[in-house]
């Protein structure tokens, strides 16, 4: 017989399945607030269904959106109005990114699909001087603070699902149909790599099982060689 906690978890899962909403889209406004003023070209890595790329196009001159999954990229193109300043490309984030430089590089819920240090290096090196790296990511919960914030997110998630769907069951957003993977690094491990590769980066634990990382490339940052296997 199922325990009370098992029945409660099953009820929560049923509610979430009937009232889906995107935790990633929740942070799009935060990303837009941290874009440079009047950005020219922006690179969106792990662009999925293109929701963020289309929002970036309202602020940037051009947006280059790259995702490794062909099916979700086809869907992103279909959902994008003709004339929108977004180019969707199927490619590997370590080897197929356009060289840039870019005024901003965004990466939402995609960094944990990649080897951490090479990915941070490639994204960093695509930035123009003064350009900003803006990441929303997932980490393995490891500390009491992680678990406490995760527990607080459960009721908040129910409320947000209800509000986003107008109190009625709804379909999964297109942004939730991209391939997913579980994170493999803790926040402490990500912070250590960020300190090494992105001195001065601001990394914060966030609600809804996410963290944010913000780094601005100094004007005098040396031009470095791409990571092994990366495009020049």
- Fill in the DSSP letter of residue 198: S
Contact 214, 222 (CB under 8 A): no
CA–CA dist 158, 137 (Å, integer): 21
| Chain segment 8-57, per-residue pLDDT in tens | 667 767 866 777 668 889 999 999 999 998 899 999 999 999 999 999 99
Average pLDDT of every residue of the chain: 88
* This prediction's pTM: 0.89
| Chain segment 125-154, per-residue pLDDT in tens | 999 999 999 999 999 999 998 899 888 888
Residue 47 to residues 7, 125, 137: CA-CA distances in angstroms?
36, 19, 13
Run of H or E residues at 211? strand 210-216
Give me the pLDDT at residue 220, please: 78
């Amino acid at each position: 017989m199922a325990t009370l906690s098992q029945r409660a978890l099953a009820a929560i899962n049923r509610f979430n399945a009937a009232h889906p909403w995107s935790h990633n889209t929740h942070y799009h406004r935060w990303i837009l607030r941290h874009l440079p003023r009047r950005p020219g070209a922006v690179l969106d890595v792990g662009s999925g269904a293109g929701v963020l790329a289309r929002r970036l196009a309202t602020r940037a001159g051009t947006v280059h959106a790259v995702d490794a999954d062909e099916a979700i990229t086809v869907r992103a193109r279909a959902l994008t109005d003709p004339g929108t300043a977004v180019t969707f490309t199927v490619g590997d984030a370590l080897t197929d990114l356009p060289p840039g430089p870019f005024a901003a590089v965004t990466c939402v819920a995609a960094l944990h699909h990649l080897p951490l240090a090479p990915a941070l290096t490639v994204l960093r090196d695509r930035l123009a001087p003064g350009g900003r790296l803006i990441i929303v990511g997932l980490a393995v919960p490891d500390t009491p603070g992680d678990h406490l914030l995760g527990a607080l997110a459960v009721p908040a998630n129910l409320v947000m699902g209800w509000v986003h769907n107008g109190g009625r069951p709804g379909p999964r957003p297109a942004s939730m149909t991209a391939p997913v993977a579980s994170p493999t690094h803790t926040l402490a491990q990500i912070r250590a790599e960020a300190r090494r590769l992105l001195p001065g980066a601001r990394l914060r634990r966030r609600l809804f099982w996410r963290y944010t990382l913000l780094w601005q490339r100094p004007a005098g940052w040396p031009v470095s060689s791409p990571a092994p296997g990366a495009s020049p």
